[in-house]
Amino acid sequence: MNPLAATLARQLASPSGTGGRLVGQAMRVANRRPTRLAITALDVRRGDTVLDLGCGTGDAIPALTAAAGTGRVYGLDHSQDMIASARRRHPGAAFYAAPFTDIPMLDESVDRILASNVAYFWHDDRAVLGEIRRVLRRGGRLAVYATTGDSLRRIGIGSSETHRQLTPADLQVMLGPAAIITSVNAGFGVTGMIAIFDKRAQQRTPAE
CA atoms within 13 A on the CB side of 153: 7
**For residues 79-114, b (16+ Cβ closer than 10 Å) or e, as one string?**
bebbbebbbeebeebebbbeebeebebeeebbbbbb
Cα dihedral value 193, 9, 99, 191, nearest 10: -10
Measured in degrees and rounded to the nearest 5, phi and psi for residue 22 equal -65, -40
Model pLDDT for residues 104-134, shown as the tens digit of each residue:
999 999 999 999 999 998 989 999 999 999 9
Average pLDDT over residues 154-179: 85
* Domains of the chain, start order: 3-199 (3.40.50.150)
Q: Considering only CA atoms, which of 72, 73, 156, 167 is closest in space to residue 119?
A: 167
Is it the case that residue 25 has pLDDT exceeding 90? Answer: no
Asked if 100 and 79 touch (Cβ cutoff 8 Å), the reply is no
Per-residue pLDDT tens digits for 56-78: 889 999 999 999 999 999 999 99
Mean pLDDT of the chain: 85
